[in-house]
Amino acid sequence: MTAMAEDLRGGRDVDIGDPLAIAALSLARRFAGGGTLWCIAPEWPEHARHVAVEFVHPVLVGKRALPAVSVDASDPAVVLRSLVRSGDVVLAVSSGDSSSTLAVMRRAEAWGAMTIWIGAGEPPTARAADHILWVDDDDDEQKGLAVHDGRMVLLYHVLWELTHVCFEHPGLLAATDEAECGDGEVCITCSDEGRLGEVIATNGPSSFSVRTARGVEMIDTMILDAVAPGDLVLIHAGVAIAVLP
């Protein structure tokens, strides 16, 4: 893994193995639960197609084909909104300042999807996605080359291989990504949470339908000045308490 890290970071020894392994395990669990991998790369669509092919095509004998789809669209959020289901994964290959990718990453939580952001150059903020796998492309002699010189391809190839390694250990797949309340009870933490929702329709002056990781819900928006379809809102106890910028 150290050799791979040096390749990805232009010869500098950094620990890229842990983020890759964690992302692969989370991805394998989503696949095991029936999820689909949606791949986007607004700036470099060939990378999205490459990732999808890797997961769909079982190159090695005995490896399973995994459901993955490449979405080629200038505004992928519009397309994915009607395709992504709770339990799916959205994987983006793009630069850290891609506005169309960021729009998808911000809404994925409301869709119930896990996110993986792979790229090179200046990375996005640390919380822009659930898993950020990045190639350091700051070296003056190699600046701007990671998209084409194989380092980024190596990154998602190893993600694919590690995902299959996880399938060789079924015990790992039995665990869930998040702790859940048992027997229908709601713990103190969950009762006080603020959940993300995407407004999809109005049902009255202060009643809207929103999409969340749990499905479509009705919420009250009385305490907010204005809410419109497409807005992202923070929900607490069935009430929208803030519109996110």
CATH number for 188-243 (one of 1.10.357.10, 3.40.605.10, 2.60.120.10, 2.30.30.140): it is: 2.30.30.140
DSSP 2-24: HHHHHHHTTT-----HHHHHHHH
Tokens of 65: 């084909």
Residues with Cβ within 8 Å of residue 45, at least 6 apart in sequence:
70, 72
The reported pLDDT for the residue numbered 63 is 79
Q: What is the CA radius of gyration of the chain?
A: 19
pTM score, two decimals?
A: 0.81
- pLDDT score, position 135: 87
Q: What is the pLDDT of residues 104-131, one digit of tens each?
A: 999 999 999 999 999 988 889 889 999 9
**The CATH number of domain 2-173, selected from 3.30.70.3340, 3.40.50.10490, 3.40.640.10, 1.20.120.420:** 3.40.50.10490
Sign of CA dihedral 172, 125, 149, 147: positive
Confidence of residue 6 (pLDDT cuts 50, 70, 90): very low
Handedness of CA 129, 134, 139, 142 (dihedral sign): negative
Mean pLDDT check: name the lowest of 19-28, 113-122, 133-142, 186-195: 186-195
Computed over every residue of the chain, the mean pLDDT equals 84
Cβ-based burial of 34 (10 A; exposed 0-12, middle 13-18, buried ≥19): exposed
The percent of residues in the chain predicted with pLDDT above 70, rounded, is: 82
